[in-house]
Structure 1
Amino acid sequence: MTAPRWLLLGAVVFTFLAWASAFVVIRGVGPHLDGGPLALGRLAVGTLALGILVSLSRSWVWPSRREWLLLAVSGVAWFGAYNVALNTAEQTLDAGTAAMIVGIGPILIALGAGIFLGEGIPKWLALGAAVAFLGVVLIGIGTLLASGTAHPFDVLGAVLALVAAITYAIGVLTQKPVVRRIPAIQATFIGCVIGLVVCLPFAGLLVAQLAVAPAAAWWGTVYLGVVPTALAFTTWAYALKRMPAGQLGIASYLSPPLATVMGFVAFQEIPHPLALAGGVICLVGVALSRRRPKVPVPA
């Protein structure tokens, strides 16, 4: 489906700006809300906002049995497990490091799209994936080196961020076939509802923690539900419907450097130098993966 280039570009830029800000806001709310309760609060607000947007839409396309299955996997993996894992990881990781570890997700998306969605795996994509993986290893080593001082649980946080990256990739790869026919706002709404149901066991803890949380934690939860969830997941689905999953996934490497800068401005947090080097290598891997073989020009 064709779309104005400026509108598609705007959707992509807004999505990754919003997601980069989410890493920082999660870090700020973390001292007051645990990972599971924060995920539930975010999804509750997001479901409400998306429900309003869906009610204003003109039509509802009923998913087929296969689409319901894909939506269920995407909802559980991306909206549910991803949010809980990322929120918990940022209890001990700074926003920039968390964003860089989650940055392995785009490579998994690109490879998965080539294998399962028929988008192909060019040699430059495979080389870029290998380089980016090396960058992720360096991020992990840097996090390990930093874990012995101020953040004793950073190793666990790195593992949870890696879980977030994997569930992120699963969510995208299962959502792509659905948004070919189902409207972006509807697919996002269904996925958010499914994620909300998955996180309902945290309801009691959410109520207890919100009761003693400051107003900033309340507003942070509302922001996470409206902007990075309801709006950004919808603009993501809009772009995903109109771009190859691998290409769009690679574009999400905009988020780690943005999150690092935002984290420094908000909390004066700077990732370990080795983690920063790993982030740069990840970006090099992305650049390599975007190369295309030269097409001979006819004489």
Structure 2
Amino acid sequence: MEKKLAVGAIVATVAMWASSFVVIRAFAEELSPGPLGLLRLLAGVITLSVMLLWLRRGRARLPGRRGLLLGAAFGVVWFAVYTLAFNWAGHFLDAGTIAMLVNLAPLMIALGGGFFFGEGFPRQLFAGMAVSLLGIGLITFAGTTGRLSLAGLLIALAAAVLYAVGMLIQKLTLRHTDPLTATWIACAAGVVALLPFIPQTIAEVGDASAGSIVGAVYMGIGPTALAFMFWGYAMMQFPAGRVAASTLSVPAIVVVMAWIFLAEVPPALAIIGGVICLVGVAIVQWRTPRRRGRGSHAEPTPDRAPAPA
């Protein structure tokens, strides 16, 4: 039952994260990266605080010092710095291209999972890396043609690195506390890290449209508070690399959403490069089922759950 709930949590998270790419792109011109990130995290921490008060009846169960430090580091890296890079990329690139580049993170997470969590180094790891690098090369070449911004490509790649580091720190944090508490600590730390943007936020909110404010609040409630809590639950059930593999579906969802709501599609060469990148990530994440004996049916390895479709 827990595994089924974890798969459902992953599906809901992937859908909410995909929508965030479109929201960022839609309102990137109205709110700067800092104010947008601060509004998002404020909405997230308020939502998480209400959930903690309701579910825990006002009794917070904070982890020890190590858990608090890890949770704060997770929040600063992923909720604050990653959010800034993610928002900034929306000023230069279309939603689909950002999604394809950010979703190189599962490959990086697979490496980190092998180094730090003993999740192993599959033989296809380096083959997948080579394929993904070819994809990055095509996307970069699309940037040199003037169809994409090279600055935007570098910012999106930096966001992918921050994504991977943040998820690995989250995995460590979850050894000391539950997903809801870990997400609340991280979100609060992210808000503190973005407090220097308060004056700019006050200035920009006065001129921003209602849609941009609603979009920022939605990103705080959905893609931040709920999605990260769901993601943390899934991380407790499956290995980090396998959970990260589920984000392979995000770029495709984003491209469809961006086409419907924003009428934008990445350049053809960038789409080809993005598909190649995702093939490389898929190669890394592929697991060959073990067989118990001759003529037996293939079964998944006991400590690895198949990634959701």
Normalized against structure 1, the TM-score is what?
0.93
Partner of 1:146, secondary structure, is: coil
Aligned residues with identical type, % of pairs = 42
Distance in 1 between the 2:274 and 2:17 partners?
A: 17
Ranges in structure 1 where 5+ consecutive residues have no aligned partner? none
The root-mean-square deviation of aligned C-alpha atoms, in Å, is 1.6
Contact 2:110–2:285 under 8 Å retained in 1:
no
Contact 1:135–1:281 under 8 Å retained in 2:
yes
Displacement of 1:129 after TM fit?
2.9
Q: Is 1:167 aligned with 2:162? A: yes
Displacement of 1:298 after TM fit?
2.9
Q: Aligned residue for 2:61? A: 61
Partner of 1:182, secondary structure, is: coil
Instruction: Map 1:102-141 onto structure 2 (within 5 A).
Output: 102-141=102-141
Distance in 2 between the 1:143 and 1:103 partners?
A: 18
1:217-249 C-alpha deviation (Å, 9 max, x unpaired): 111111111111111111111111111001111
Contact 1:61–1:183 under 8 Å retained in 2:
no
Q: Aligned residue for 2:235? A: 240
Q: Aligned residue for 1:79? A: 79
Distance in 2 between the 1:72 and 1:141 partners?
A: 38
Q: 1:217 aligns with which of 202, 212, 216?
A: 212
Contact 1:39–1:84 under 8 Å retained in 2:
yes
Q: Which moved more, 1:111-120 or 1:133-142?
A: 133-142
For residues 141 and 64 of structure 1, do their structure 2 counterparts lie closer, same or farther at Cα, with a shift above 3 Å needed?
Answer: farther
For residues 230 and 293 of structure 1, do their structure 2 counterparts lie closer, same or farther at Cα, with a shift above 3 Å needed?
Answer: closer
How many residues get paired? Answer: 292
Displacement of 1:197 after TM fit?
0.7
Distance in 2 between the 1:230 and 1:35 partners?
A: 19
Q: Aligned residue for 1:185? A: 180
Contact 1:71–1:175 under 8 Å retained in 2:
yes
Distance in 2 between the 1:203 and 1:214 partners?
A: 18
Q: Which moved more, 1:74-83 or 1:50-59?
A: 50-59
1:62-108 C-alpha deviation (Å, 9 max, x unpaired): 32232222222211110000000110110111000011111111111
Instruction: Map 1:1-299 onto structure 2 (within 5 A).
Output: 3-58=1-56, 60-147=60-147, 154-293=149-288, 295=290, 298-299=293-294
Displacement of 1:135 after TM fit?
1.7
Partner of 2:119, secondary structure, is: coil
For residues 43 and 297 of structure 1, do their structure 2 counterparts lie closer, same or farther at Cα, with a shift above 3 Å needed?
Answer: closer
Partner of 1:123, secondary structure, is: coil
Of Structure 1 and Structure 2, the greater helix share is in 1
Distance in 1 between the 2:188 and 2:291 partners?
A: 50
Displacement of 1:283 after TM fit?
2.3
